[in-house]
Structure 1
Amino acid sequence: MTTEKTNISEDKELSPEQREALLSTLRVRFEKNTNRHQDLQWADVQARLEANDEKLWSLHAMEETGGEPDVVDYDQKTGEYVFYDCSAESPKGRRSVCFDRAGWESRKENKPENTAMEMAADLGIELLSEEEYRALQQLGKFDTKTSSWVQTPAEIRKLGGALFCDRRYDTVFLYHNGAESYYAARGFRGSLKV
């Protein structure tokens, strides 16, 4: 399985130019969307990012796959900044994927290129939980035309199902589908703590 539709380097190392461009993009987004992270300062976020190359690479991968990551929270206990994919719609470079490998293997034909769980692992991020997805929706209107796979309880997954969310009629909905299903308008959103 490969991370499709991206120009992400396999060695998980950013060039100085990529690093500078990413930090600039993240800073502009941070400053433009202060409602997502009131009382946080970009200088503090940047210092944390610059000290963690692996997490910076994951943010680059989130950006390259269309996620538009931004800070949405600060964990007082760990001192970590929490980033979510904040693109208006489910990230373009992460759509048309089954939920996980077991779902992918259960398909008899027309298997997609990848799965949400494997792509997330490759990117070094976690799928949003339902709770995180609903928290994101408090910051804006997301997935009004698309949908996003979310973490699924083991009991549901064991029975072949998987969960996804979207926003329609100004309401956030949680749905179920077979984990083997995939659609052009369904992808996944991720989170990353730095």
Structure 2
Amino acid sequence: MKINNMNKNKLSPAQREEFLSILKNRFEKNMHRHKGLEWNKVQAKLEANPGKLWSLSEMEDTGGEPDVVELDKNTGEYIFYDCSAESPKGRRSLCYDHEALESRKEHKPKNSAMQMSTEMGIQLLTEDEYRQLQKTGKYDTKTSSWIITPAEIRELGGALFCDLRYNHVFTYHNGAESYYAARGFRGSLRI
């Protein structure tokens, strides 16, 4: 589904209905990701939060295949993650953040993971969230995904990313200004 929004951050009624149908189908086909949760309650939250539904549509449009992975019992928020098998295609070849993007003298990528996630209204996964996602399936077996990097690492010019190889989640480091065709980022959204 590709949504070209005339009104930024808002879906038309037809787009909303089409997208809710996509999310419902994905939810029902992947019950192992959200055991015990009910679609009608998720849908009610989505319908009450059109801006968040727009952010989810951005996740979808860039290849993320968002799905519910958890209900935060403390806040009552449903947590969506990108659940595409590989790092979302529309979010690859990005350096880590705006500072890294600006530091490149030539061959700059089109954007950074942190900037793009902000524009979409989502958050990059933390290392713990990435590991939690991997408990629901096998993701990034051929690609990798930037994750939130601790300030002390970022201040020294580095950034972290993860992937799944040999049935094990690996966390690596790279210069924040680096970018690769097989590295993107996965996001999360709380509703």
In which range does the TM-score fall when normalised by the shorter chain?
Answer: over 0.9
TM-score under structure 2 length normalisation: 0.97
User: How far off is 1:168 after superposition?
Assistant: 0.7
Once the two structures are superposed, what CA deviation does each residue of 1:49-89 show, in whole Å capped at 9, x if it has no partner?
00000100000100000000000000111111000000000
| Partner Cα separation in structure 2 for residue 82 and residue 12 of structure 1 | 19
| Secondary structure, counterpart of 1:83 in structure 2 | strand
| Aligned residue in 2 for 1:70 | 67
Q: Are residue 61 (structure 1) and residue 58 (structure 2) matched?
A: yes
| Secondary structure, counterpart of 1:78 in structure 2 | coil
User: How far off is 1:13 after superposition?
Assistant: 1.1
| Aligned residue in 2 for 1:152 | 149
* Contact residue 8 and residue 64 of structure 1 kept, 8 A: no
Q: Count how many residue pairs are aligned between Structure 1 and Structure 2.
A: 189
* Contact residue 3 and residue 15 of structure 2 kept, 8 A: no
* Contact residue 103 and residue 180 of structure 1 kept, 8 A: yes
Which structure 2 residues correspond to residues 34-113 of structure 1 after superposition, within 5 A?
34-113=31-110
| Partner Cα separation in structure 1 for residue 81 and residue 144 of structure 2 | 15
Q: Are residue 163 (structure 1) and residue 163 (structure 2) matched?
A: no
Q: Are residue 190 (structure 1) and residue 151 (structure 2) matched?
A: no
TM-score under structure 1 length normalisation: 0.95
| Secondary structure, counterpart of 1:120 in structure 2 | helix
Structure 1 segments, 4+ long, off by >2 Å, are 6-10
* Contact residue 3 and residue 57 of structure 2 kept, 8 A: no
- Which residues of structure 1 form unaligned runs of 5+? 1-5
User: How far off is 1:7 after superposition?
Assistant: 5.2
- Which residues of structure 2 form unaligned runs of 5+? none
| Secondary structure, counterpart of 2:159 in structure 1 | strand
* Contact residue 90 and residue 186 of structure 1 kept, 8 A: yes
Q: CA RMSD in A?
A: 1.0
User: How far off is 1:8 after superposition?
Assistant: 4.6
| Aligned residue in 2 for 1:3 | none
Once the two structures are superposed, what CA deviation does each residue of 1:127-185 show, in whole Å capped at 9, x if it has no partner?
00000000000000000000000000000000000000000111110000000000000
| Aligned residue in 1 for 2:177 | 180
Q: 2:156 corresponds to which letter in structure 1?
A: L
User: How far off is 1:106 after superposition?
Assistant: 1.1
State percent identity of aligned pairs: 67
| Partner Cα separation in structure 1 for residue 111 and residue 87 of structure 2 | 16
How has the CA–CA distance of structure 1 residues 107 and 7 changed in structure 2, closer, same or farther, with 3 Å as cutoff? farther
